[in-house]
Amino acid sequence: MFRGSNTALVTPFKDGSVDVDTLKRIVNWQIDEGSHGLVPVGTTGESPTLTHQEHDLVVETVVRTTDGRVPVIAGAGSNNTAETIRLVKAAKSVGADAALIVTPYYNKPTQDGLVAHYEAAADCGLPIVIYNIPGRSVVDMTPATMARLARHEMIVGVKDATGDLARVSHQRMACGPDFIQLSGEDATAIGFNAQGGVGCISVTANVAPGLCAKFQQATLDGDYAKALEYQDRLMPLHRAIFLEPGLVGAKYGMSLLGICAEDVRLPLVGLSEGVKSEVRDAMKFAGLLS
């Protein structure tokens, strides 16, 4: 169900508030451009600075606007298990197809603690995608722990942002070929899929949804020569967007396309002028700007 290019959606703001009308337009644009799925209120959606009410509003808006055309994996991560359960239940109540749950950050649970955390969330009855990103959360879920969780019928896959491509094979062997593995890194997604991944939760797809979808489809079709052509067009954009926090780069790129404003919430600030220039040049190289 969860394959291909799944856009880690930005959350647009207007006058400091969530811009619901623009969010709806973004959803429709993403689907029209060929995105295979949508992932609202992850870190790229500025979930750390959204209120609980705003978080729920964004998920409901994306689900309602999508109207079943593509899957919606709602961000529901927290380092508080009770809060994670609340977010999962809220996502389930509005019809999200799954919840994306990051490994709890800062409080550094053990592997047994990770198992207990994810099983408690999965018992809510909504499919769960693990989000393993040790560079941000500090804790790393091992393939052995992931295999324990994969036995739960509602824990269906992982967004892997470890940057370790060998991990894909280890997790495939531990969890089985039906366990869904999605890359959490745009730049290495081609190698990730070659090792057994089936897609990416992509930041760059906010700016280049059509190209990212075609790239992912080429890998799913086994046409890695075609995928490399798209990779070469996209690689400068992957790099430029992440020179500073990726969501800031994505919003700036979207502003150049007239999709949304580049507004972000503190403690994030707008791109520096030098990085803006690099994003513009990368978009021109990809054929997104004249």
Burial environment of residue 140 by CB neighbours within 10 A (0 to 12, 13 to 18, 19 or more): middle
Nearest CA among 250, 220, 204, 201 for reference residue 99: 201
Verify whether residue 159 is a known catalytic residue.
yes
The angle, 0 to 180 degrees and rounded to 10, between the axes of the packed helices 20-33 and 209-220 is 40
Q: Choosing from 92, 118, 131, 252, which is the catalytic residue? A: 131
Q: Which two tokens stand for residue 228?
A: 């490399």
Verify whether residue 251 is a known catalytic residue.
no
At 101, phi and psi to the nearest 5? -125, 115
CA torsion through residues 169, 134, 104, 13, sign: negative
Q: Choosing from 105, 106, 118, 159, which is the catalytic residue? A: 159
Q: Which two tokens stand for residue 279?
A: 């994003």
Peptide bond into 267 cis (omega under 30): yes
Residues acting as catalytic residues: 131, 159
